[in-house]
Structure 1
Amino acid sequence: MRPTDRKPPMSLTRPHNRVTFNKVPEPTWAFWVIKVLATTVGETAADFLSTTLNLGLTNTTIVMGALLAVALVFQFRSRAYTPALYWVAVVLISVFGTLITDNLTDNLGISLVVTTIVFTIALAATFIVWYARERTLSIHQIDSTSREGFYWLAILFTFALGTVAGDLLAEQLNLGYLASVGVFAAAIGLVAVAHFVFKLNAIAAFWIAYVLTRPLGASLGDLLSQAKADGGLGLGTVGTSAIFLVAIVGLVIYLSVGERRTLRAATGAREARIGQTDTVGAHEE
């Protein structure tokens, strides 16, 4: 079979919905570590900006919303997964998700129980519409503008839901930050066991764990940053945010280097296959 006889790739068969390479990373150990770090930064950075710097919830939400919009524009315009772009968007959406819930509870006086129910419904509705349109919720197939839009909307709701769930457990139910960290870590462990031992569907396991890492990171952030009198370790929002941001930057650099190596290897293999195909075609002629 000559090269011209082959069917075009899927990216050429859907002209009305730009298809690219998969736009999100594989859920490796580094993915989950950065995710927890990002959720912790989302909690502490929101408190730092709105309280420590006295920007207030409204001004902080506007500023972070604008930054998130810019980050998502670059993310959507990219043709493939780029670690720096992706994780900047995740950190910003983590902060923004925290600010949304803080506005609802602090500025509007809506209870944590109500906001937990609302964000649960919003996330479920996102998944239902996403699946109805795309027939998949897999993060391995975020390869079109439509799927990427659903993905980031789901990510926003997971951060918001995780924030209110963490606050509900640690503060309103008076469980405390340390105990909350233990509860959510144990819950994630149970999801892992359910997937690897009892064969829970991989997509369901991923999204359940993704939601649970948000309150885990938020509780961890509060544990480290809040004053000892309030049940924390007293590191403050500045110190905690700085430590975790440095860790995130280091891991993103590590992933970026690995991504370049993988891309070079894939490009070399693809060029080798093309060369072999051309050689076979020349012999057939």
Structure 2
Amino acid sequence: MTALFWIIKVLTTGMGETASDFLAHALAPPVAVGIGAVGLAAALVAQLWAPRYRAGIYWFAVVMVSIFGTMAADVLHVALGIPYAVSTAAFAVALAAILWLWYRTEGTLSIHTVIAGRRELFYWSTVLATFALGTAAGDLTAATFGWGYLGSGLIFAAAIAVPAVAFRARRLGPVAAFWTAYVITRPLGASFADWMGVSTARGGLGLGTGPVTAAWAAVIVALVGYLAYSRADRAQVPIG
């Protein structure tokens, strides 16, 4: 169950990245952002109003956070000309502020205490900040640092093993390990999705952002459908 959660999480990050890019090129950027904002609002309302955890509702909300988080990070760079290094630092500060306020208010950052109400609002605010931060960080390494999408993906794949190993070695607590890995999943999935979707001239496979979005979305739907049918995750995901 733990492995399946992280697999779906990485898939949503990649699918959100390419879906955002596809919409931005297929539509006028303001229209794409508007659609993303409406979709995010609808998904969060459905999640917050759900009487209990539902796999489909929960993961739809994660997907929409992924798409809109990508748009938020891209708008700062593309529309406002803010360097990725600056936006990465800004989103990191925002994430730290949300986590600090969450801990100061509730006394814990554990997802196992997130049932509904104020803690769930803190949770989704944190998730949105992690997606925006991860998007900016992935673009920072791929474009600004010149590592490329594949190189960035491989580096983040190695980086995500660090909190896992530290947790197993009892050098890092479960809450810190979870949120560290959660942040890294964003640039990890996005880097590989971008590598598959962008043109060969940009160092990718040239499959196109539309087809990559559709393929990753199909896998997400299949895995979430399995969770909804089997209900294997009902005892492990307290949110909703």
Tell me the TM-score normalized by structure 1. Answer: 0.80
Letter in 2 for 1:197: A
Q: What is the distance in 2 between the residues matched to 1:215 and 1:163?
A: 6
1:200 aligns to what SS in structure 2? coil
Contact 2:53–2:234, Cα closer than 8 Å, also in 1: no
**Structure 1 residues 197 and 49: alpha-carbon distance in aligned structure 2, compared to 1, 3 A threshold:** same
Structure of larger gyration radius: 1
Distance apart, 1:117 and its partner CA: 0.9
1:126 aligns with 2:79: no
**Structure 1 residues 260 and 196: alpha-carbon distance in aligned structure 2, compared to 1, 3 A threshold:** closer
Q: What is the distance in 1 between the residues matched to 2:167 and 2:233?
A: 31
Match of 2:54 in 1: 82
Q: What is the distance in 2 between the residues matched to 1:188 and 1:199?
A: 15
CA distances 1:239-265 after superposition (whole Å, capped 9, x unpaired): 1011100000000011111217968xx
Q: What is the distance in 2 between the residues matched to 1:155 and 1:261?
A: 19
1:188 aligns with 2:125: no
Match of 2:126 in 1: 154
Match of 1:240 in 2: 212
Distance apart, 1:157 and its partner CA: 0.4
Contact 1:49–1:60, Cα closer than 8 Å, also in 2: yes
Letter in 1 for 2:165: V
**Structure 1 residues 239 and 136: alpha-carbon distance in aligned structure 2, compared to 1, 3 A threshold:** same
Match of 2:19 in 1: 45
Match of 1:34 in 2: 8
Match of 2:180 in 1: 208
Distance apart, 1:71 and its partner CA: 1.0
Q: Share of identical aligned residues, percent?
A: 48
How many pairs are equivalent? 235
Distance apart, 1:57 and its partner CA: 2.2
Match of 1:95 in 2: 67
1:174 aligns with 2:143: no
CA-atom RMSD, angstroms? 1.4
Contact 2:48–2:116, Cα closer than 8 Å, also in 1: no
Letter in 1 for 2:158: A
Tell me the TM-score normalized by structure 2. Answer: 0.95
Distance apart, 1:56 and its partner CA: 2.5
Q: What is the distance in 2 between the residues matched to 1:192 and 1:122?
A: 24
Matches within 5 A, 1:104-143: 104-143=76-115
1:186 aligns to what SS in structure 2? helix
Once superposed, which parts of structure 1, at least 4 consecutive aligned residues long, lie more than 3 Å away?
Answer: 260-263
Q: What is the distance in 2 between the residues matched to 1:221 and 1:260?
A: 28
Letter in 1 for 2:119: R
Letter in 1 for 2:14: T
